[in-house]
Amino acid sequence: MQGQKLPEQNVSYQSFVVDNSRWQGFNMRAGDIIISTPPKAGTTWTQMICALLVFQKTDLGKGLSEFTPWVDAKTIPIEEVLATYEAQTHRRFIKTHTPLDGLPYSSKANYVVVGRDPRDAFLSMDNHRQNTSPEWLALIAKNAANKKAAAGNAASAKKQTTKKPAAKPADIGQQFETWITAEGPMEEGFDPQKSSLLHHLQSFWAYRHLPNIIFLHYADMKQDLAGEMQRLADFLQIEVPDGLMPELVQAASFASMKQQADIMAPNAHKGIWKENSRFFNKGEIGQWRDVFQPAQIDHYRKVMDKLDPEFVQWVENGTLS
């Protein structure tokens, strides 16, 4: 792709939950697998699939998050996150919710982006919020404050870490209208629950011609998990014995991951979730039809009608042609 513009890390993503400046100390390796997804688009599912393809066994020996901590989140001091990745000798698979314009780009790395119908992703996020323990937010604030204080800027730390997301409308339909209308990158102090799924996916869509970026979709993974796992394996140039792939596919199924929620849910061992199994709630396609009113769907369609029809088709239904 000589002569074509490559992605650049030129946007700062700062919020009560995330800080993409934490990537500054990350040393990229050839073959690294960067899993970049909007929240609730199939992140943990994709992490598990990558783990199964890399290790080619179903018993990982420890929790999934211990292999692939979320780089941007303030729940764990960045020094610990970087040390975890530096110590790994296997092919690394790295979790992030940062769009492509906020990530370091390397032509030697592989980027996996995952889409999902925004309406279903929003409902999944609502369940996610309800299942989150209060201790989680306290941990974020503590780690973020410690970092700033160490840099001699305690006053700034207090300002940033005490700015919690604004109160949301009580009606879930109104919440959805606000969320889907969010456009562009997050600003300083931006409410992460209002982050733009569309912006995240569009940041990759502009570079879909690059050979080291692959687009997966939640609907495709639901409908043909074996086919999508093989497609990802081919993209990553990982050979899996024919007799082993069905076993790996079974281990990546929603039912299997829910059954092992205590080791599959992100940082479950740290008490982040009220119920670990609820992290894998329904995993359904089209659940929004039973929730949103016609007014909310009309609002949604007006937002989507402003976008590239091919992009909208993929975001809602999957399967890139």
Higher pLDDT among residues 58 and 188, named by residue: 58
Residue-range definition of the domain harbouring residue 79? 20-317
Residue 285 in domain:
yes
CATH number at residue 121: 3.40.50.300
* Per-residue model confidence (pLDDT) at position 192: 43
Report if pTM > 0.85: no
Residue 221 in domain:
yes
Q: Total domain count for the chain?
A: 1
Residue 8 in domain:
no
Residue 29 in domain:
yes
* Per-residue model confidence (pLDDT) at position 271: 52
* Per-residue model confidence (pLDDT) at position 280: 47
Q: For 205-217, what is each residue's pLDDT tens digit?
A: 999 999 999 999 9
Residue 4 in domain:
no
| Strands 110-115 and 93-96, sheet pairing | unpaired
Higher pLDDT among residues 281 and 108, named by residue: 108
Residues 97/46, Cβ–Cβ less than 8 Å = no
Residue 10 in domain:
no
Residues with a catalytic annotation lie at 97
Number of Cα atoms under 13 Å in the Cβ half of residue 291: 18
DSSP string, 215-237: EEEHHHHHH-HHHHHHHHHHHTT
DSSP string, 108-138: TSEEEEEE--HHHHHHHHHHHHHHB-HHHHH
Residue 2 in domain:
no
H helical segments located in the chain: 43-55, 64-67, 78-87, 118-131, 134-150, 154-161, 172-181, 197-205, 218-223, 225-235, 245-251, 254-259, 261-264, 294-304, 309-317
Residue 62 in domain:
yes
